[in-house]
């Protein structure tokens, strides 16, 4: 054969003759597959017969008398006449073996073709296959299906159809095979051969839907417009990393926990990471699977697996469809799972892997009905699982021969016993189908080239790669069109400042500086100081007044007695001899009483207590407790000035003393527990005034902050940074106000505990001063009741006050000892302590306000708070937030963010495709459409055809 050319021809559109060895020409036989199986390109094998090597990926070409027979040559997978009749010219493919001797200096017309069929070129086919499938996986993970539909492998099947075992075989992983969470969401597995000896699996959550429950879900809630209630489609995919592992033994546990995380959509997925998350550490997997928020999720758990012995493949595994749930309330899930399967099957570029177990009746397959409804039979590969449990061989043989349940990509047969270890499952399957006696019926001998996961893996890998290569120009065109559209839409949005990060940071720095300056500003300090004085004046003005009038009958006095004879005053307390003064309601505030008779001098010359008494030398020596109050007429506390009116009376004090006295106690001893109730009653009036003080202080504080915001961001008032900052500042002020209110309440209740004196000197001074005032008012009241008329001027001058005191000293001895002297002393103690407590309380409140509300701003509490709320703190900062802050409104900001996120994904997609094209993986391989053949079988065929020189 040294001088013989070995030629293979394939003419489309013309009959093909049988093999002709004599002429040295081998012609491929026409395809005898059913029309439904011809819609996708089939594998083409050239040259070798069954005797040369025993495996082929094509089903038997013909049957004789109902029995399958083998053709001398495998059927061609070139497109049939029907599928190519629209082409004007037939496609001619020719291959000739070079002669043994050739002049290297003479160019050959076959050099290029010969070069393309060297062993190395067909070794490159495996690399190109890897590049194509890797690119498909990358594009799928980017989530660009809304732009261009991608070829994808989708595993579907009924419950208990053996999908999990089949998936484990395809992925070379121990995936969960039992029920539970592993059936309640889709799984995407991307396998990639790695030259490094390290095995690695990265698990992530791909979130295309939000969980929005509104109550119990009913079957009627599942509609065409709402196929997966209560899940709602998101504008764009969100990907969350879950865990990366380097030990295959961990994959099952990690995958189960990832699905628990995806079923608890509102919770942080980090809680469920095994060995790391708090929830995963405290809860068993079995318990976690029963306590999920959702019973089902259309979101995806994605596995990216890299290893030295993996096929280059990516595929989806969907939950198995079923007819009846275990609980009646989960009836809606039946239709939801069907909708999910239909959603994936209806994708025009999806290659369907339909699992049907050989121990069940194929007529009962729910999945087949979904495939037929979607008219996806031509894109479907039938995978018969559980071959070791086969029932009714005749029915399955009929399916394999294409007599019923026809699918476009034919059928494969697998068997993966659940009790077989993953490492030995492939050997077990090889032995079961191909060697030695077994339970596998002999009738299936003719379909050995379609038996086993290994052959299935090579077939679907090639199918995915070919489908992607065919659709690559269309995918790239659509991505580029969408990319141009996104860029145009971005260009139409309002322009942002040139350096958004600089603008944001600069405006915030100005704001923080303005706030700190505002708190130190003299105007602010002056306003706050005025408020402090007004609050202090209010507390002193609501000091409890004391009613010094008693209920005893007035005494009868011998008015003929000389005024100088005060040593023997005779009082006859009989009704006939009484001379009564007109009753008066005079209180310690010195409310003027009416004259007792015509022409009498006013009996109440005492000045109101607001102006401290100056009648005696001792009183004049006492400094004023309350300095003049600025803007008192505009004081916000004026409404509370009367709260202390008649807070005490000598009559009620006597009643309290009597109530608290214990048997045997001397009547002149005042029980200690008399004072606390009276003091607490007086201090209780502070509460409304304290609330008013807090509100006005916070208002001043708030005004400083908002004025600083407006001045520092005057040019950005229409942008998000201003609105968002103002909203967060509102929260900041409210939080600080609430905390400060708690501190002030603590101070208030500390005073309400009762008497506690530390400043004894001031307390004693206040008490003595109050006793002088109270006793003078009491004396005047006694004289008025006894009928004495004033013969002095009712004035407030020093001279008038001195004359009044002289009048009291002259006539008071006629009345004898005061029966309410003890009550006056008690009232003096209460009022003296009240003043000391009020002064201390006012000081404590002002110090607390200053230390906890105003000063923290200078310590960067506001800076840290706002930076965190605006998400520009160094921890976990996303640089895109600066652009969002500079947008003119939230709608534009969200739109810009979404468009930029999409643009990044599309750019990555184009880069992946360009890289694939540069490597040569995106070009169709000339003269070779392997279809069902794997790369190693392709190499075998080339060796058989080309070999050494012949």
Q: Is 928 within a domain?
A: no
How would residue 291 be classed by pLDDT, with cut points 50, 70 and 90? very high
Select the highest-mean-pLDDT range: 286-290, 311-315, 892-896.
286-290
Cα torsion 630, 631, 637, 641: sign: positive
637-676 confidence digits (pLDDT tens): 999 999 998 899 999 999 999 888 888 888 778 888 999 9
Q: Is 938 within a domain?
A: no
In Å, what is the CA distance from 286 to each residue of 256, 260, 647? 10, 10, 69
**How far is the C-alpha of 108 from the C-alpha of 821, rounded, in Å?**
138
Which among 24, 38, 109 is positioned nearest to 79, based on CA atoms? 38
Q: Which three-class secondary structure state does DSSP give residue 592?
A: coil
626 contacts: CB under 8 Å, gap ≥ 6: 536, 537, 540
Backbone angles phi, psi at 457, to 5 degrees: -60, -45
pLDDT score of 421: 72
Least confident of 314-323, 472-481, 933-942: 933-942
Domain count, the chain: 2
pLDDT score of 412: 96
Q: Determine how many CB atoms are found less than 10 A away from the CB of residue 702.
A: 17
Give the domain range for residue 300: 187-310
Strand partners, 314: 190
Q: Which residues in 141-248 belong to E strands, given as ranges?
A: 152-157, 187-193, 200-211, 231-245
Q: Which of 813, 838, 867 is the last residue of a domain?
A: 867
Least confident of 276-285, 463-472, 606-615: 606-615
Backbone angles phi, psi at 684, to 5 degrees: -60, -25
Q: Is 193 within a domain?
A: yes
- Does the structure show a pLDDT above 60 at 432? yes
How would residue 126 be classed by pLDDT, with cut points 50, 70 and 90? low
**How far is the C-alpha of 470 from the C-alpha of 492, rounded, in Å?**
35
Q: Is 71 within a domain?
A: no
Average pLDDT over residues 158-187: 78
- Does the structure show a pLDDT above 70 at 634? yes
Under 8 Å between Cβ of 173 and 336: no
How long, in residues, is the chain? 950
- Does the structure show a pLDDT above 60 at 45? no
Q: Is 209 within a domain?
A: yes
**How far is the C-alpha of 246 from the C-alpha of 288, rounded, in Å?**
24
Select the highest-mean-pLDDT range: 463-472, 803-812, 815-824, 828-837.
828-837
- Does the structure show a pLDDT above 60 at 109? no
Cα torsion 649, 655, 658, 659: sign: negative
Which among 907, 883, 896, 890 is positioned nearest to 492, based on CA atoms? 896
Q: Which residue has the higher pLDDT, 498 or 739?
A: 739
Q: Is 354 within a domain?
A: no
**How far is the C-alpha of 398 from the C-alpha of 489, rounded, in Å?**
57
Q: Is 32 within a domain?
A: no
pLDDT score of 370: 95
Under 8 Å between Cβ of 54 and 452: no
134 contacts: CB under 8 Å, gap ≥ 6: 192, 312
- Does the structure show a pLDDT above 60 at 611? no
**How far is the C-alpha of 905 from the C-alpha of 678, rounded, in Å?**
76
Q: Which of 867, 896, 929 is the last residue of a domain?
A: 867
Backbone angles phi, psi at 353, to 5 degrees: -105, 105
309 contacts: CB under 8 Å, gap ≥ 6: 172, 193
- Does the structure show a pLDDT above 60 at 3? no
Q: Is 641 within a domain?
A: yes
Q: Which of 290, 310, 330 is the last residue of a domain?
A: 310
Residue 821 is encoded by which pair of tokens? Answer: 């002297």
How would residue 699 be classed by pLDDT, with cut points 50, 70 and 90? very high
240-265 confidence digits (pLDDT tens): 999 999 998 899 899 999 999 999 99
How would residue 555 be classed by pLDDT, with cut points 50, 70 and 90? low
The rounded mean pLDDT for the chain is 76
Q: Which residue has the higher pLDDT, 54 or 884?
A: 884
**How far is the C-alpha of 541 from the C-alpha of 682, rounded, in Å?**
12
pLDDT score of 66: 38
Q: Which residue has the higher pLDDT, 316 or 626?
A: 316
Q: Label the pairing between strands 92-95 and 7-11.
A: antiparallel
Residue 493 is encoded by which pair of tokens? Answer: 């949005």
Q: Where would I find the H helices in 625-759?
A: 650-660, 675-683, 686-712, 720-751
Which among 125, 177, 133 is positioned nearest to 151, based on CA atoms? 133
Least confident of 128-142, 689-703, 705-719: 128-142
């Amino acid at each position: 054969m040294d001088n013989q050319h070995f030629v293979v021809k394939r003419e489309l559109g013309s009959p093909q003759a049988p093999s002709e060895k004599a002429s040295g020409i081998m012609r491929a036989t026409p395809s005898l597959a059913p029309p439904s199986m011809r819609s996708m390109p089939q594998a083409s094998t050239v040259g070798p017969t069954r005797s040369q090597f025993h495996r082929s990926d094509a089903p038997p070409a013909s049957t004789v008398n109902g029995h399958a027979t083998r053709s001398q040559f495998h059927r061609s997978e070139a497109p049939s006449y029907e599928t190519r009749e629209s082409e004007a010219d037939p496609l001619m493919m020719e291959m000739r073996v070079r002669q043994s001797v050739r002049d290297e200096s003479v160019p050959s017309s076959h050099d290029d073709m010969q070069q393309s069929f060297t062993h190395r070129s067909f070794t490159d086919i495996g690399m190109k296959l890897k590049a194509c499938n890797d690119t498909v996986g990358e594009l799928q993970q980017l989530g660009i299906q809304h732009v261009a539909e991608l070829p994808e492998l989708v595993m579907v099947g009924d419950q208990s159809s053996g999908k999990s075992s089949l998936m484990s075989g395809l992925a070379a992983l121990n995936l969960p095979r039992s029920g539970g969470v592993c059936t309640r969401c889709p799984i995407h597995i991307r396998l990639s051969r790695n030259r490094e000896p390290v095995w690695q699996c990265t698990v992530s959550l791909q979130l295309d839907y939000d969980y929005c429950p509104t109550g119990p879900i009913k079957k009627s809630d599942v509609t065409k417009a709402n196929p997966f209630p209560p899940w709602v489609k998101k504008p764009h995919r969100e990907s969350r990393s879950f865990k990366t592992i380097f030990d295959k033994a961990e994959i099952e546990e990690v995958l189960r926990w990832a699905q628990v995380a995806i079923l608890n959509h509102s919770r942080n997925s980090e809680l469920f990471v095994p060995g790391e998350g708090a929830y995963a550490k405290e809860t068993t997997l079995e318990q976690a699977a029963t306590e999920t928020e959702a019973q089902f999720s259309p979101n995806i758990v994605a596995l990216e697996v890299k290893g030295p012995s993996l096929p280059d493949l990516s595929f989806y595994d969907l939950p198995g469809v079923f007819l009846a749930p275990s609980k009646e309330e989960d009836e809606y899930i039946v239709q939801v799972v069907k909708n999910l399967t239909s959603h994936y099957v209806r994708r025009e570029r999806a290659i369907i892997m339909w699992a049907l177990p050989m121990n069940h009746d194929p007529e009962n397959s729910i999945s087949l009905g979904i495939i037929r409804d979607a008219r996806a039979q031509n894109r479907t590969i039938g995978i018969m699982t559980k071959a070791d449990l086969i029932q009714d061989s005749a029915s399955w043989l009929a399916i394999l021969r294409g007599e019923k349940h026809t699918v476009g990509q034919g059928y494969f047969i697998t068997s993966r016993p659940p009790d077989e270890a993953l490492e030995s499952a492939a050997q077990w399957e090889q032995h079961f189908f191909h060697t030695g006696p077994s339970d596998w019926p002999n009738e299936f001998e003719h379909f050995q080239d379609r038996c086993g996961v290994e052959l299935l893996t090579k077939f679907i890998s090639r199918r995915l790669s070919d489908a992607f290569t065919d659709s690559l120009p269309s995918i790239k065109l659509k991505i580029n069109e969408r990319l141009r559209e996104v860029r145009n839409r971005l260009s139409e949005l309002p322009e942002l400042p040139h350096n958004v990060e600089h603008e944001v940071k600069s405006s915030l720095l100005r704001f923080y500086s303005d706030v700190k300056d505002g708190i130190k500003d003299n105007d602010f300090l002056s306003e706050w100081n005025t408020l402090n004085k007004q609050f202090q004046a209010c507390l002193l003005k609501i000091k409890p007044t004391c009613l010094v009038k008693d209920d005893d009958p007035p005494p009868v006095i011998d008015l003929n007695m000389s005024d100088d004879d005060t040593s023997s005053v005779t009082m006859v307390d009989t009704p006939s001899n009484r001379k009564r003064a007109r009753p008066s309601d005079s209180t310690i505030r010195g409310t003027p009483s009416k004259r007792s008779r015509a022409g009498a001098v006013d009996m109440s010359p005492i000045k109101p207590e607001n102006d401290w008494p100056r009648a005696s030398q001792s009183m004049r020596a006492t400094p004023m407790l309350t300095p003049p109050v600025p803007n008192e007429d505009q004081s916000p506390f004026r409404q509370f000035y009367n709260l202390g009116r008649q807070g005490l009376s000598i009559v009620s004090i006597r009643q309290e003393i009597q109530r608290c006295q214990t048997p045997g106690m001397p009547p002149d001893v005042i029980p200690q527990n008399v004072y606390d109730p009276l003091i607490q009653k007086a201090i209780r009036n502070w509460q409304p005034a304290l609330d008013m003080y807090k509100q006005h202080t916070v208002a001043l504080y708030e005004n400083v902050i908002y004025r600083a915001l407006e001045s520092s961001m005057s040019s950005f008032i229409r942008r998000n940074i201003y609105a968002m900052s103002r909203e967060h500042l509102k929260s900041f002020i409210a939080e600080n106000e609430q905390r400060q209110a708690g501190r002030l309440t603590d101070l208030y209740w500390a005073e309400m505990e009762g008497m506690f004196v530390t400043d004894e000197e001031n307390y004693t001074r206040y008490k003595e001063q109050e006793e002088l005032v109270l006793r003078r008012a009491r004396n005047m009241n006694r004289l008025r009741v006894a009928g004495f008329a004033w013969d002095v001027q009712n004035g407030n001058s020093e001279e008038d006050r001195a004359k009044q005191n002289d009048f009291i000293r002259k006539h008071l001895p006629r009345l004898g000892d005061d029966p309410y002297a003890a009550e006056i002393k008690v009232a003096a103690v209460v009022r003296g302590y009240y003043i000391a407590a009020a002064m201390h309380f006012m000081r404590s409140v002002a110090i607390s306000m200053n230390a906890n509300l105003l000063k923290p701003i200078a310590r960067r509490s506001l800076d840290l708070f706002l930076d965190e709320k605006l998400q520009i703190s160094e921890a976990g900062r996303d640089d895109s937030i600066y652009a969002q802050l500079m947008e003119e409104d939230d709608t534009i900001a969200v739109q810009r963010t979404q468009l930029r996120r999409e643009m990044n994904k599309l750019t990555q997609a184009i880069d992946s495709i360009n890289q694939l094209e540069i490597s040569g993986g995106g070009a169709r391989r000339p003269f070779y459409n392997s279809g069902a053949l794997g790369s190693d079988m392709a190499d075998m065929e080339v060796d058989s055809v080309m070999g050494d020189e012949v």
